[in-house]
Amino acid sequence: SDSASLIADGAEFLADRPAILRTIAAPGGEDAQQLRMSANLLRRRAVGDAVHLRGLIEFSNHCRNNCCYCGLRRDNRRLARYRMTPAEIVSAAERGAALGYRTVVLQSGEDPAFTGPMLAEIIREIKRLGLVVTLSVGEREPREYELWRSAGAERYLMRHETADPELYGRLHPGQTLAKRIALLKVLKQLDYQVGTGFMVGLPGQTPETLLADIDLARELAAEMVGIGPFIPHPATPLADSPGGIVDQTCLMVALARLALPYALIPATTALGSIDPQGRELALESGANVMMPNLTPRLHRADYQIYPNKICLNEEADHCRGCITGRILGLGRIVADDPGHHPLWLERN
């Protein structure tokens, strides 16, 4: 079956919006299970059984923003802040290459101390190792995005977090959804593979806004979609809010697969942190990426965007083995190619 028919198949599942909204409202029900199975089948036909691994390097936990859900928010004074040196970042990437990862994700809070040219130099050094570089450093100037693209970065992750503009405004003091979307479009124009995504279970979220999250990912033609449960962090204004649940998060993963059959969709660490089988359940609901941690252990505990994050005491090689075992345990395989989006590869 060709790509047009797979895309049509996915669209068919999403055509009945009232039914989808009812399913989102009843994520433990039979319809939700059905959708997750359909997404798993579509995933298999569209992108196969391979799971792509991306080594995550959390290189700075300084952040100028004050997102109401995040432990790295600037008002959190209870956090020991760190920055890795460029040499430490490159050596973490080397370790990733030695473990067989083809991509490293350079992630940080929004930390202007890492200037555009500094990050460009780090990207160039990591490219020399033969790795694909994914950036996840938040909102920056379009010229910086351009500089980093020229330095060799090929992917950019920046979740839209919620497609409800009012909820976005309440959760992100001083920020707007419109700006976030405009920057995602800039990244698309620079021909990055662009990842967006959102949290599930945010206070004030409804089935309608969750469906809008899927619509937005599709409108942006996102190459990657990261979806994780909201996990309340004690040092934030949302400390006492309930968190997201596994079934609803996996259902949203399934809807993302149906909306974007060729997308790279991670089984997120946040899902693995609220349920020991969370990542496996996502891999069986449409996901095809995992992001093992490569951050030096010294800093792991301080990159606490949410509490009870897994792998705080595990070395990178342990996670490599753990993740491989989980993938093989599902009858899946670990990808050995760089794991680019197929439609982006055709353009490049």
**Chain positions contacting ligand FES, by CB under 6 A:** 292, 311, 314, 318-319, 322-323
Binding of ligand 5AD by 63 (CB under 6 A)? no
Q: What, of ligand FES, ligand 5AD, ligand SF4, none, does residue 222 touch, CB below 5 to 8 Å by kind?
A: none
Residues 132, 83: Cα–Cα separation, whole Å: 22
DSSP 162: -
Q: Which stretch in 46-54, 224-232, 310-318, 335-343 sits in contact with ligand 5AD by CB under 6 A? A: 224-232
Other CB atoms closer than 10 Å to residue 2's CB: what's the count? 7
Closer CB to ligand SF4, 110 or 280, in the complex = 110
Near ligand 5AD by CB under 6 A: residue from 110, 154, 161, 247: 161
Q: Could you tell me which of 157, 158, 92, 159 has the C-alpha nearest to residue 131? A: 92
State the number of binding residues for ligand 5AD (CB under 6 A): 12
Burial 45-76 (b: 16+ CB within 10 A, else e): ebbeebbbbbbbbbbbbbbebbbbbbbbbbeb
CB of 223 to ligand SF4, least distance (A): 20
CB of 268 to ligand FES, least distance (A): 12
Closer CB to ligand SF4, 108 or 285, in the complex = 108
CB of 305 to ligand SF4, least distance (A): 6
- Per CB under 6 A, contacts with ligand 5AD among 2-61 are none
Ramachandran angles phi, psi of 99, nearest 5°: -80, 0
Ramachandran angles phi, psi of 206, nearest 5°: -130, 170
Closer CB to ligand 5AD, 59 or 306, in the complex = 306
Near ligand 5AD by CB under 6 A: residue from 55, 96, 109, 228: 228
x/- binding map, residues 284-313, to ligand 5AD, per CB under 6 A?
---------------------xx-------
Which residues fall within 8 angstroms of residue 27, CB to CB, at 6 or more apart? 245, 247, 248, 250, 251
Residues 163, 165: Cα–Cα separation, whole Å: 6
Closer CB to ligand SF4, 229 or 286, in the complex = 229
Q: What, of ligand FES, ligand 5AD, ligand SF4, none, does residue 47 touch, CB below 5 to 8 Å by kind?
A: none
CB of 269 to ligand FES, least distance (A): 8
Ramachandran angles phi, psi of 26, nearest 5°: -130, 65
User: One-letter amino acid identity for 187?
Assistant: L
Long-range contacts of 19-25 (CB under 8 A, 24+ apart): 20/211, 20/255, 21/207, 21/208, 21/211, 22/207, 23/251, 24/207, 24/210, 24/211, 24/248, 24/251, 24/252, 24/255, 25/207
Residues 46, 34: Cα–Cα separation, whole Å: 18
CB of 159 to ligand SF4, least distance (A): 8
Q: What, of ligand SF4, ligand 5AD, ligand FES, none, does residue 270 touch, CB below 5 to 8 Å by kind?
A: ligand 5AD
Near ligand 5AD by CB under 6 A: residue from 52, 95, 102, 159: 159
DSSP per-residue codes, 244-270: --HHHHHHHHHHHHHH-TT-B-B--HH
CB of 326 to ligand FES, least distance (A): 7
Q: Can you give the binding site for ligand 5AD, defined by CB under 6 A?
A: 69-70, 159, 161, 199, 228, 230-231, 233, 270, 305-306
